[in-house]
Structure 1
Amino acid sequence: MAVLIFLLLGSSVLLQVFSWIWYSDSVKLIETKVEKFADKHLLLKPFHFLQFGVYLRYAGVIETSTMDLLHRISNFRNGVRHSIREDGKLKYDFLMLRLIEAFSENVPQLTLILSRILQRGELELITGLKILTTAAAIAFNVALYHQGMHVSGSKGCKMSWMSTMIYFLWNLLLIIPRVTALALFCSVLPCYIIAHFLSLWMLLVLVVWSQKTDHMKSPGWEWLFRAAVGLIWYFSWFNVSKKGSLKVKMAIYCSLMALDTMLLLGFWCWKVFEYAGCWSSLNPYVVIPTLLGLYVIGILVKIIYYKWFHPKLPEASEEGQIRQAATCDADSTDSFTENMTAAPVQPLTGVIKRGSIMVANFYF
């Protein structure tokens, strides 16, 4: 219970800090009435202090979604073809916050709950289905980020459902073995999971630092972002930089995670044989090949996605600018390019810079 409360509070504080930082450097770009009201009456900081800042963003999303629905109804009545409306520049921050929440709260909770179930030997079919549903919800959240980045980068171009489903599938197939291996290791060596997390997480943070990320407004806050990315990488892949070859980076990451997962399963198997009889419900000769098989299948589906279904890469642009390009369907030959380099502009800052970086990293 103490660990669960720590995860909930820690994730909430992390989200509020990010939300407040991103509000503070983009307050002039707020477009929704509910957020403007909070800013006008100096309520942004109290809301975040009381852990309500993210809910303010949810209220802004509800407002823009409602306005978009009314806009569609009005166009339908007037016989006007509906055009995609922008939901506001702060949508980039909202998508990133949801991604951080998924891997700072939902995935650790799932790992903790699964480890307790394994310790008590209460793993049943209905329990397994609930765990699978939770993992699917996490992968679906990642797929929504994928879809949101595509819509943002392509200025409203709809995403192919096939592309989204394949993206969801490879994330699910890689998250399940990772979380299960961590839970199995935690169930037999609970005190060592903290040491494992800290050692691997610090290594991943250093790798993020080597990518020279530039997502926050100050170097100090940039380290907080790198720490959050390291947390995401502890469970799943997330591209944060165009530096270096994407194929090489993903190959190194997948190899490292595969090696670490096998190490965790090896320690669990060792403890199972040491205390034979207590774990008769889980046969290592079935569990380990199944998890490794799912991981390999997930890698293959991931390769298929990036080879045939991932949107095409945008062309490079001058520093401080971005060319956004996307395909409306992975199987279609029609494409369009948004060129934003017609006139000299000031270096991108705040949410504009973050949005440009997130979209560029997604398509890279």
Structure 2
Amino acid sequence: MEETFPFHFPLSACLLSLLSTLFFLLDVALDVWAIMSLYQDGQYVYMGVLIALLLCSSILVHVFSWIWYSDPETSTGKFASIDKFAREYGLIGPLHVVQLGLFLRFASLVEISICKIIQRSDRSQEGVAVFLKHDLSVLRLFEMFSESVPQLVLMITFTMQKQGLQLFTGFKIAGSLMSIAISVLLYHCNMRDFVPEDQKMGWSSSAVFFLWNLFLITPRVLAVALFASILPCYIAAHFLSWWVLLFLWAWRQKTDFMDNEGGEWLYRATVGLIWYFSWFKVSKGKTKVKSIIYHVCMGADIGLLLGLWFWKRSVDSARLNPLPFNPYVLIGALPALYITGLLLKLLYYWKFHPNCPSLRFKDRDETPQIQLPRRASEADDSVEMVSADLEYQQTVSGTWKRMRNMVINFYY
């Protein structure tokens, strides 16, 4: 058997956890500031839409968090003292009802990180931190596509309708798009924790992964925002039409992420929301054909949205503010960016995506196996072998199941 590689919670992960907590608090503060700015400017419609986006996203994320806290696998075992206190006094449910469940998760991770930094944590706490970090990365991914990306679409729409594009506003939009691509990269780096050290993401692979996500997400976000700025009454119908189709497609892929049927349907609905903006692999096995179909459909939709935007602006040009840029440049640049993103994605999967050869062991028909840490209650220096063929595995649930299936979906 090849040499195993145990999973730890290193100091670098502790510092990143503390930094991510600060960014989470900053994000909350910026959301409040955005609402107050719209209120002071008298933009009550946009303020109402923003509040609705924030509230719906928060409810979605906290429903997932509450379901995961309620899992029997996480109802026993070792926890951070903050978690223990909340469980002992029955505060888990109330905290999620008042939308403070994520604060509880971040507080627990911060506690373990600080204990690790001052050399007061044991291996079991590090195991808990690994699971906390994974669940938080998934929740933040859901939050990004249900809040941050729609909020960016709203900001671009507001800019195009009311203010006109200014240099500072352009930098803010570019920075927001880059932060979204960085968030996707960080989530992918979290998945790379489950591969050997020699297959971790280097600078070159990280750069290519970041760029292809940036070049694929940017045209999609801008096309949706431009369409919403000129035909705001139709954007809801456009989103719902695509979301229903994508939701049904996620159902057809027979996802297996949650522990109960209701939770699985909620997950599929969330996948449909993510797919509206970006591709997300949710099933094991080769998905080349599915990915091609998705990108062809999204590329055609981007072209349709841009065409409708250009046509409507041409028809109503007399009553609209003049654009600070040549629309023909935008019509040509966004499809070019999308094609460039596709080429970079092909480059990434050709040169940088790990095949995980050191994770393969002889088992039935060379079924790939993945090394994951034991459950937090059993955390030690050993690892558990998990076959990528779910059919032959014992029943697992909770964070253990989510981690295992995510890794399998990413690499097999």
TM-score, normalised via structure 1 length: 0.86
Shift of 1:94: 1.3
Alignment of 1:309 with 2:357, yes or no, is: no
Shift of 1:138: 1.1
Counterparts of 1:232 and 1:152, CA distance in 2: 23
Give 1:333's aligned residue: none
Alignment of 1:274 with 2:301, yes or no, is: no
Shift of 1:159: 3.0
Q: Pick from 302, 313, 327: which aligns with 1:284? A: 327
Shift of 1:29: 4.7
Shift of 1:28: 2.2
Cα distance change, pair 192–100 in 1 and its aligned pair in 2 (3 A): same
Alignment of 1:297 with 2:340, yes or no, is: yes
Q: Pick from 45, 61, 65: which aligns with 2:113? A: 65
Alignment of 1:13 with 2:59, yes or no, is: yes
Secondary structure of the corresponding residue to residue 217 of structure 1: coil
Q: Does structure 1 conserve the Cα–Cα contact (< 8 Å) formed by 2:105 and 2:136?
A: yes
Question: What whole-Å deviation, never above 9, does each CA across 1:290-328 have from its counterpart, x for those lacking one?
Answer: 11111111111111111111122454978xx972269xx
Counterparts of 1:35 and 1:288, CA distance in 2: 51
Counterparts of 1:311 and 1:33, CA distance in 2: 37
Give 1:36's aligned residue: 84
Give 1:351's aligned residue: 399
Counterparts of 2:221 and 2:198, CA distance in 1: 34
1:134-173 alignment runs, 5 A limit? 134-154=176-196, 158-173=200-215
Alignment of 1:260 with 2:301, yes or no, is: yes
Give 1:225's aligned residue: 267
Q: Does structure 2 conserve the Cα–Cα contact (< 8 Å) formed by 1:154 and 1:324?
A: no
Secondary structure of the corresponding residue to residue 28 of structure 1: coil
Question: What whole-Å deviation, never above 9, does each CA across 1:328-352 have from its counterpart, x for those lacking one?
Answer: xxxxxxxxx97446xx974111211
Shift of 1:64: 2.5
Q: Does structure 1 conserve the Cα–Cα contact (< 8 Å) formed by 2:109 and 2:132?
A: no
Secondary structure of the corresponding residue to residue 262 of structure 2: helix
Q: Does structure 2 conserve the Cα–Cα contact (< 8 Å) formed by 1:213 and 1:240?
A: yes
Q: Pick from 245, 254, 265: which aligns with 1:212? A: 254
Shift of 1:27: 2.5
Q: Does structure 2 conserve the Cα–Cα contact (< 8 Å) formed by 1:151 and 1:157?
A: no
Secondary structure of the corresponding residue to residue 324 of structure 1: strand
In structure 1, stretches of 5+ residues that fail to align are 75-84, 327-336
* AA aligned opposite 2:337: L
Shift of 1:40: 1.7
Secondary structure of the corresponding residue to residue 131 of structure 2: coil
Shift of 1:140: 0.9
Q: Which stretch of structure 1 is more off in the superposition, 21-30 or 283-292? A: 21-30
Q: Percent identity?
A: 47
Question: What whole-Å deviation, never above 9, does each CA across 1:267-304 have from its counterpart, x for those lacking one?
Answer: 00111111225334242211111111111111111111
Counterparts of 1:161 and 1:35, CA distance in 2: 36
Shift of 1:252: 1.0
Counterparts of 1:290 and 1:345, CA distance in 2: 48
Counterparts of 1:4 and 1:349, CA distance in 2: 36
In structure 2, stretches of 5+ residues that fail to align are 1-46, 373-382
Cα distance change, pair 43–322 in 1 and its aligned pair in 2 (3 A): farther
Shift of 1:90: 3.3
Q: Does structure 2 conserve the Cα–Cα contact (< 8 Å) formed by 1:121 and 1:281?
A: no
Cα distance change, pair 165–61 in 1 and its aligned pair in 2 (3 A): farther
Cα distance change, pair 308–138 in 1 and its aligned pair in 2 (3 A): same
Counterparts of 2:398 and 2:278, CA distance in 1: 27
Alignment of 1:97 with 2:139, yes or no, is: yes
Counterparts of 1:234 and 1:28, CA distance in 2: 37
Shift of 1:139: 1.1
Give 2:99's aligned residue: 51
Counterparts of 2:368 and 2:271, CA distance in 1: 23
Q: Looking at both structures, which has the greater relative contact order when contacts are Cα pairs under 8 Å and sequence separation is at least 6?
A: 2
Cα distance change, pair 269–33 in 1 and its aligned pair in 2 (3 A): same
Counterparts of 1:346 and 1:156, CA distance in 2: 30
* AA aligned opposite 1:358: M
Give 1:88's aligned residue: 130
Cα distance change, pair 113–46 in 1 and its aligned pair in 2 (3 A): same
Counterparts of 1:141 and 1:38, CA distance in 2: 29
Cα distance change, pair 269–30 in 1 and its aligned pair in 2 (3 A): farther
Secondary structure of the corresponding residue to residue 212 of structure 1: coil
Cα distance change, pair 252–146 in 1 and its aligned pair in 2 (3 A): same
Shift of 1:61: 1.8
* AA aligned opposite 1:302: K
Secondary structure of the corresponding residue to residue 168 of structure 2: helix
* AA aligned opposite 2:88: K
Cα distance change, pair 276–151 in 1 and its aligned pair in 2 (3 A): same
Q: Does structure 1 conserve the Cα–Cα contact (< 8 Å) formed by 2:386 and 2:404?
A: no
Counterparts of 1:64 and 1:312, CA distance in 2: 33
Counterparts of 2:197 and 2:79, CA distance in 1: 18
Q: Which stretch of structure 1 is more off in the superposition, 187-196 or 346-355? A: 346-355
Q: Does structure 2 conserve the Cα–Cα contact (< 8 Å) formed by 1:322 and 1:339?
A: no
> What is the number of residues matched between the two proteins?
341
